[in-house]
A and B are shown apart, each in its own frame.
Chain A
Amino acid sequence: MERRKFIQGMFTATAVATITTPTTMFADETKKAAKKGPNDMSFDEAVKTITSDKGAKESDKIKLTVPEIAENGAVVPVKIEIDHPMEEKNYVKAIHVLNKGNGNARCADIMLTPANAKGYFATRVKLSKTQDVVALVELSDGTFIQTAKSVKVTIGGCG
Protein backbone atom coordinates (compact mmCIF):
# COMPACT_ATOMS: atom_id res chain seq x y z
CA MET A 1 0.00 0.00 0.00
CA GLU A 2 2.76 2.39 0.92
CA ARG A 3 4.59 1.73 -2.29
CA ARG A 4 1.48 2.21 -4.45
CA LYS A 5 0.80 5.58 -2.84
CA PHE A 6 4.38 6.61 -3.40
CA ILE A 7 4.24 5.78 -7.11
CA GLN A 8 0.91 7.56 -7.52
CA GLY A 9 2.37 10.57 -5.85
CA MET A 10 5.30 10.55 -8.21
CA PHE A 11 3.02 10.42 -11.23
CA THR A 12 0.96 13.36 -10.10
CA ALA A 13 4.10 15.30 -9.31
CA THR A 14 5.52 14.80 -12.81
CA ALA A 15 2.14 15.60 -14.33
CA VAL A 16 1.99 18.84 -12.42
CA ALA A 17 5.55 19.63 -13.45
CA THR A 18 4.83 19.06 -17.13
CA ILE A 19 1.78 21.25 -16.97
CA THR A 20 3.40 24.06 -15.05
CA THR A 21 6.71 24.35 -16.90
CA PRO A 22 5.23 25.52 -20.21
CA THR A 23 2.98 28.03 -18.49
CA THR A 24 5.94 29.57 -16.66
CA MET A 25 7.80 29.75 -19.95
CA PHE A 26 4.86 31.58 -21.50
CA ALA A 27 4.87 33.95 -18.57
CA ASP A 28 8.50 34.80 -19.32
CA GLU A 29 7.67 35.48 -22.94
CA THR A 30 4.81 37.80 -22.06
CA LYS A 31 7.13 39.63 -19.69
CA LYS A 32 9.61 40.15 -22.52
CA ALA A 33 6.85 41.28 -24.85
CA ALA A 34 5.61 43.73 -22.24
CA LYS A 35 9.03 45.37 -22.11
CA LYS A 36 8.56 47.63 -25.09
CA GLY A 37 9.50 51.13 -25.97
CA PRO A 38 6.92 53.83 -26.68
CA ASN A 39 7.23 53.78 -30.47
CA ASP A 40 8.38 50.36 -31.52
CA MET A 41 8.63 49.56 -35.18
CA SER A 42 10.11 46.58 -36.99
CA PHE A 43 12.73 47.04 -39.69
CA ASP A 44 10.44 45.92 -42.54
CA GLU A 45 7.69 48.28 -41.40
CA ALA A 46 10.15 51.15 -41.22
CA VAL A 47 11.40 50.51 -44.76
CA LYS A 48 7.80 50.29 -45.99
CA THR A 49 6.78 53.59 -44.43
CA ILE A 50 9.90 55.41 -45.65
CA THR A 51 9.88 54.13 -49.23
CA SER A 52 6.06 53.87 -49.43
CA ASP A 53 6.25 50.22 -50.57
CA LYS A 54 8.77 50.88 -53.35
CA GLY A 55 11.68 49.14 -51.67
CA ALA A 56 15.35 50.04 -52.03
CA LYS A 57 18.21 48.83 -54.23
CA GLU A 58 21.54 47.72 -52.85
CA SER A 59 24.24 50.16 -53.90
CA ASP A 60 27.96 50.69 -53.40
CA LYS A 61 27.60 54.46 -53.74
CA ILE A 62 27.05 54.70 -50.01
CA LYS A 63 30.06 54.40 -47.75
CA LEU A 64 28.89 53.31 -44.33
CA THR A 65 31.54 53.34 -41.62
CA VAL A 66 30.78 51.42 -38.44
CA PRO A 67 33.07 49.51 -36.09
CA GLU A 68 33.21 45.74 -36.70
CA ILE A 69 33.10 45.06 -32.99
CA ALA A 70 31.55 47.51 -30.55
CA GLU A 71 32.50 46.84 -26.96
CA ASN A 72 29.89 49.21 -25.64
CA GLY A 73 26.54 49.07 -27.40
CA ALA A 74 25.48 52.40 -25.89
CA VAL A 75 27.88 54.39 -28.04
CA VAL A 76 28.44 53.12 -31.58
CA PRO A 77 29.79 55.72 -34.02
CA VAL A 78 28.12 55.71 -37.44
CA LYS A 79 29.40 57.65 -40.44
CA ILE A 80 27.67 57.81 -43.81
CA GLU A 81 29.16 59.31 -46.96
CA ILE A 82 27.37 59.25 -50.30
CA ASP A 83 29.16 59.54 -53.61
CA HIS A 84 26.49 61.58 -55.36
CA PRO A 85 26.46 65.16 -56.72
CA MET A 86 24.69 67.88 -54.70
CA GLU A 87 23.34 70.13 -57.46
CA GLU A 88 20.16 72.17 -57.67
CA LYS A 89 18.13 69.40 -59.31
CA ASN A 90 20.14 66.30 -58.55
CA TYR A 91 21.00 65.82 -54.90
CA VAL A 92 20.74 63.54 -51.91
CA LYS A 93 17.36 64.29 -50.40
CA ALA A 94 17.42 62.26 -47.22
CA ILE A 95 19.51 59.83 -45.21
CA HIS A 96 17.74 57.35 -42.95
CA VAL A 97 19.76 55.54 -40.30
CA LEU A 98 18.09 52.25 -39.42
CA ASN A 99 18.88 49.17 -37.35
CA LYS A 100 17.56 45.61 -37.51
CA GLY A 101 17.63 44.52 -33.88
CA ASN A 102 16.43 47.33 -31.60
CA GLY A 103 12.80 47.74 -30.57
CA ASN A 104 12.46 50.81 -32.72
CA ALA A 105 14.20 50.30 -36.06
CA ARG A 106 14.49 54.00 -36.83
CA CYS A 107 17.45 55.95 -35.45
CA ALA A 108 17.39 59.22 -37.37
CA ASP A 109 16.12 60.80 -40.59
CA ILE A 110 18.22 63.59 -42.05
CA MET A 111 16.77 65.83 -44.73
CA LEU A 112 19.54 67.45 -46.73
CA THR A 113 19.50 70.32 -49.23
CA PRO A 114 22.00 71.36 -51.94
CA ALA A 115 23.46 73.86 -49.42
CA ASN A 116 25.12 70.93 -47.65
CA ALA A 117 27.39 70.42 -50.68
CA LYS A 118 28.14 66.81 -49.73
CA GLY A 119 26.09 63.82 -48.71
CA TYR A 120 27.61 63.27 -45.30
CA PHE A 121 26.28 62.52 -41.84
CA ALA A 122 27.82 61.23 -38.63
CA THR A 123 26.35 60.39 -35.25
CA ARG A 124 26.45 57.85 -32.42
CA VAL A 125 23.72 55.25 -31.89
CA LYS A 126 22.66 52.70 -29.28
CA LEU A 127 22.51 49.03 -30.26
CA SER A 128 20.87 46.43 -28.02
CA LYS A 129 22.64 43.37 -29.51
CA THR A 130 24.72 42.17 -32.47
CA GLN A 131 22.87 43.34 -35.55
CA ASP A 132 22.95 45.16 -38.88
CA VAL A 133 23.04 48.92 -39.24
CA VAL A 134 21.39 50.12 -42.46
CA ALA A 135 21.79 53.39 -44.32
CA LEU A 136 18.79 54.06 -46.55
CA VAL A 137 19.26 57.02 -48.87
CA GLU A 138 16.62 58.86 -50.85
CA LEU A 139 17.77 60.71 -53.97
CA SER A 140 15.98 63.75 -55.38
CA ASP A 141 14.54 61.73 -58.30
CA GLY A 142 12.60 59.59 -55.82
CA THR A 143 14.72 56.44 -55.94
CA PHE A 144 16.03 54.71 -52.86
CA ILE A 145 19.39 53.03 -52.36
CA GLN A 146 20.67 51.23 -49.29
CA THR A 147 23.61 49.47 -47.76
CA ALA A 148 24.00 47.44 -44.59
CA LYS A 149 26.84 46.43 -42.30
CA SER A 150 26.82 44.20 -39.25
CA VAL A 151 28.16 45.27 -35.88
CA LYS A 152 29.15 42.82 -33.16
CA VAL A 153 28.04 44.17 -29.81
CA THR A 154 29.66 42.84 -26.64
CA ILE A 155 27.49 44.68 -24.10
CA GLY A 156 24.04 45.85 -25.16
CA GLY A 157 23.20 49.51 -24.82
CA CYS A 158 19.43 49.55 -24.36
CA GLY A 159 17.29 49.00 -21.27
Chain B
Amino acid sequence: MAEARKSMIKIKPKKYKVGDIVKVDFIVIHPMDTGMKKDKKTGEIKPAHYIDNITFSFDGTPFTTMKVWESISTNPYFSVNYKVTGKGKISVEYTDNQGEKNSKSKKVKPKD
Protein backbone atom coordinates (compact mmCIF):
# COMPACT_ATOMS: atom_id res chain seq x y z
CA MET B 1 0.00 0.00 0.00
CA ALA B 2 0.88 3.64 0.07
CA GLU B 3 3.11 5.06 2.75
CA ALA B 4 1.95 4.77 6.34
CA ARG B 5 -0.54 7.39 7.42
CA LYS B 6 0.34 9.98 10.00
CA SER B 7 -1.42 9.30 13.25
CA MET B 8 -1.07 10.23 16.87
CA ILE B 9 -2.15 8.96 20.27
CA LYS B 10 -2.38 11.43 23.13
CA ILE B 11 -2.95 10.60 26.76
CA LYS B 12 -4.46 13.40 28.82
CA PRO B 13 -3.44 14.60 31.36
CA LYS B 14 0.29 14.03 30.79
CA LYS B 15 1.02 12.93 34.35
CA TYR B 16 -1.09 10.12 35.78
CA LYS B 17 -0.97 7.39 38.39
CA VAL B 18 -2.23 3.82 38.50
CA GLY B 19 -5.99 3.97 39.00
CA ASP B 20 -6.47 7.34 37.31
CA ILE B 21 -8.99 7.73 34.55
CA VAL B 22 -7.31 9.28 31.52
CA LYS B 23 -8.51 10.41 28.11
CA VAL B 24 -7.02 8.54 25.18
CA ASP B 25 -7.19 10.66 22.03
CA PHE B 26 -6.49 9.21 18.63
CA ILE B 27 -6.02 11.39 15.57
CA VAL B 28 -5.23 10.18 12.06
CA ILE B 29 -4.65 12.04 8.79
CA HIS B 30 -7.21 10.52 6.44
CA PRO B 31 -9.36 12.03 3.62
CA MET B 32 -12.65 10.33 4.73
CA ASP B 33 -14.20 10.75 1.24
CA THR B 34 -17.94 10.19 1.14
CA GLY B 35 -18.12 9.07 -2.47
CA MET B 36 -20.25 12.12 -3.34
CA LYS B 37 -17.71 14.88 -3.76
CA LYS B 38 -16.20 15.87 -7.10
CA ASP B 39 -12.49 16.22 -7.59
CA LYS B 40 -11.90 19.92 -8.33
CA LYS B 41 -9.15 19.24 -10.87
CA THR B 42 -10.57 16.38 -12.92
CA GLY B 43 -14.31 16.88 -12.31
CA GLU B 44 -14.82 13.20 -11.58
CA ILE B 45 -16.53 11.92 -8.47
CA LYS B 46 -14.02 10.63 -5.94
CA PRO B 47 -14.70 7.09 -4.76
CA ALA B 48 -15.63 6.58 -1.13
CA HIS B 49 -12.60 6.20 1.09
CA TYR B 50 -13.16 6.14 4.82
CA ILE B 51 -11.99 4.36 7.96
CA ASP B 52 -14.42 1.60 8.96
CA ASN B 53 -12.94 -0.25 11.92
CA ILE B 54 -10.87 0.90 14.86
CA THR B 55 -9.65 -1.17 17.80
CA PHE B 56 -8.09 0.27 20.95
CA SER B 57 -6.16 -2.30 22.95
CA PHE B 58 -3.90 -2.41 25.97
CA ASP B 59 -1.12 -5.03 25.84
CA GLY B 60 -3.05 -6.98 23.22
CA THR B 61 -6.44 -7.09 24.93
CA PRO B 62 -8.94 -4.82 23.19
CA PHE B 63 -10.95 -2.48 25.39
CA THR B 64 -12.82 -0.42 22.81
CA THR B 65 -13.86 -1.25 19.27
CA MET B 66 -15.50 1.14 16.85
CA LYS B 67 -17.36 0.92 13.59
CA VAL B 68 -17.17 4.12 11.62
CA TRP B 69 -18.92 5.44 8.53
CA GLU B 70 -18.21 8.31 6.13
CA SER B 71 -20.11 10.91 8.19
CA ILE B 72 -17.04 11.42 10.38
CA SER B 73 -14.97 14.50 9.48
CA THR B 74 -11.76 14.56 7.48
CA ASN B 75 -8.69 13.82 9.64
CA PRO B 76 -10.83 12.14 12.27
CA TYR B 77 -10.42 12.44 16.00
CA PHE B 78 -11.70 9.91 18.52
CA SER B 79 -11.51 10.20 22.26
CA VAL B 80 -12.37 7.58 24.92
CA ASN B 81 -11.67 7.16 28.59
CA TYR B 82 -9.39 4.51 30.05
CA LYS B 83 -8.51 3.52 33.59
CA VAL B 84 -4.75 3.06 34.01
CA THR B 85 -3.95 -0.37 35.45
CA GLY B 86 -0.16 -0.35 35.15
CA LYS B 87 2.76 -0.13 32.75
CA GLY B 88 2.10 -1.30 29.24
CA LYS B 89 1.31 -0.19 25.72
CA ILE B 90 -1.87 1.22 24.23
CA SER B 91 -2.17 0.41 20.57
CA VAL B 92 -4.75 1.44 18.01
CA GLU B 93 -5.37 -0.58 14.87
CA TYR B 94 -7.51 0.78 12.07
CA THR B 95 -8.64 -0.39 8.66
CA ASP B 96 -10.42 1.49 5.88
CA ASN B 97 -12.87 0.44 3.20
CA GLN B 98 -10.12 0.25 0.54
CA GLY B 99 -8.22 -2.36 2.53
CA GLU B 100 -5.55 -0.19 4.12
CA LYS B 101 -4.44 -1.47 7.48
CA ASN B 102 -2.37 0.52 9.93
CA SER B 103 -1.60 0.73 13.60
CA LYS B 104 -0.05 3.08 16.13
CA SER B 105 1.02 2.52 19.69
CA LYS B 106 2.08 4.49 22.72
CA LYS B 107 3.69 3.44 26.00
CA VAL B 108 1.80 3.92 29.24
CA LYS B 109 4.08 5.03 32.05
CA PRO B 110 2.21 5.79 35.26
CA LYS B 111 4.08 7.71 37.93
CA ASP B 112 3.71 6.68 41.53
Could you tell me which residues of chain B, from 65 to 83, have a CB within 8 Å of some CB in chain A?
65-74, 76-83
Q: Are A159 and B37 in contact (CB under 8 A)?
A: yes
> Does B8 interact with chain A (Cβ within 8 Å)?
no
Q: Is A63 an interface residue (CB 8 A)?
A: no
Number of interface residues of B (CB under 8 A): 31
Considering only residues 25-77 of chain B, those with a C-beta below 8 Å from chain A are 32, 34-37, 48, 58, 62-74, 76-77
> Which residues of A are found within 8 Å of B32, using beta-carbon distances?
126
- Interface of B, secondary structure class, is strand
Give Cα A43–Cα B32 distance, bound, in whole angstroms: 21
Q: Counting CB contacts under 8 A, is A122 at the interface?
A: yes
Q: Does A89 reach chain B (CB closer than 8 Å)?
A: no
Judge if B18 is at the interface, Cβ distance under 8 Å: no
Distance from A9 Cβ to chain B, minimum over Cβ atoms (Å): 41
Q: Which residues of B contact A74 (CB under 8 A)?
A: 73-74
Nearest chain A CB to B38 CB, angstrom units? 8
The CA of A112 and the CA of B85, in the complex, are separated in Å by: 17
How far is it, in angstroms, between the C-alpha of A115 and the C-alpha of B71 when the chains are bound? Answer: 27
Please give me the residue from chain B that is nearest to A109 by CB atom: B67
Chain A, Cβ-Cβ closest to B84: A117
Say yes or no: A37 contacts B78, CB within 8 Å. no
Residue from B48, B63, B79, B85 in contact with A121 in the complex, judged by beta carbons closer than 8 Å: B79
- Contact of A123 with B72 at beta-carbon distance under 8 Å, contacts A109-B67, A116-B64 already known: yes
- Does A66 touch B at the CB level, under 8 Å? no
CA distance A61 to B71 in the complex (A): 25
Q: Which residues of A contact B70 (CB under 8 A)?
A: 37-39, 104, 126
- Which listed residue, B21, B62, B72, B79, touches A126 by the CB 8 Å rule? B72
| Interchain CA distance A107-B83 in the complex, whole Å | 26
**Residues of B that sit less than 8 Å from A by CB:** 21, 23, 32, 34-37, 48, 58, 62-74, 76-83, 85
Residues in A lying within 8 Å of B, measured CB to CB: 35-39, 74-76, 99, 102-104, 106-113, 115-118, 120-127, 157-159
5 contacts between A and B (CB under 8 A): A39-B70, A76-B73, A111-B66, A116-B83, A124-B72
